[in-house]
């Protein structure tokens, strides 16, 4: 009986934490290493995170419709492993400016080369 009650309490607490984190983040949409559609509201942000290893000379470059979204932030997050050459995460934060849909094309390449090593597309649906 006690074990069943403990499980119910744990599930309720976990549900509350998940709800609380989602509420805290507001309407911030997050995508990670996947292509797809992200819905966000005008004035809110969407975060796209992609594996990246700038020590190889590669980085992600974003192409998008600047009339619908703005690049509010772009940063590299170190993996924190201390290992030389370890891949981290490149984060793009887009802010919705007005209603519409735009495709963000992300290309993983070296700045001095024309060849693209990888490409992702994410549709931002601004409402």
Residue 81 is predicted with a pLDDT of 85
Residues 109 and 115: their CA atoms lie apart, in Å, by 7
pLDDT of residue 27: 40
CA pair distance 45, 116, nearest whole angstrom: 27
On whether the CB atoms of residues 104 and 37 are closer than 8 A, the answer is: no
- The pLDDT score that the predictor gives to residue 80 is 84
Distances, alpha carbon 49 to alpha carbons 34, 73, 100, 111, 120, in Å:
9, 12, 22, 20, 11
The first and second tokens of residue 12, run together, are 């309720």
Its pTM stands at 0.72
Helix, strand or coil for residue 62? strand
Beta strands 100-110 and 116-126 are antiparallel
> In the chain, what are the domains?
28-126 (2.60.40.2020)
pLDDT at residue number 34 = 55
Indicate the DSSP class of residue 81.
S
Average pLDDT, consecutive stretches of 10 residues, N- to C-terminus, the chain (127 residues): 44 36 41 72 95 93 97 93 87 97 96 95 95
Secondary structure of residue 43 in the 3-state scheme: coil
């Amino acid at each position: 009986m006690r074990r069943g009650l403990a499980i119910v309490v744990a599930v309720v607490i976990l549900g509350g934490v998940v709800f609380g984190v989602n509420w805290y983040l507001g309407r911030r949409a997050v995508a990670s290493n996947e292509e797809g559609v992200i819905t966000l509201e005008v004035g809110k942000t969407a975060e796209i995170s992609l594996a990246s290893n700038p020590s190889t000379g590669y980085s992600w470059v974003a192409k998008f419709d600047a009339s619908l979204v703005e690049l509010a932030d772009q940063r590299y997050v170190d993996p924190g492993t201390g290992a030389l050459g370890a891949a981290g995460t490149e984060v793009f934060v887009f802010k919705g400016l007005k209603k519409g849909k735009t495709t963000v094309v992300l290309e993983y390449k070296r700045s001095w080369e024309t060849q693209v090593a990888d490409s992702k597309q994410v549709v931002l649906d601004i409402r």
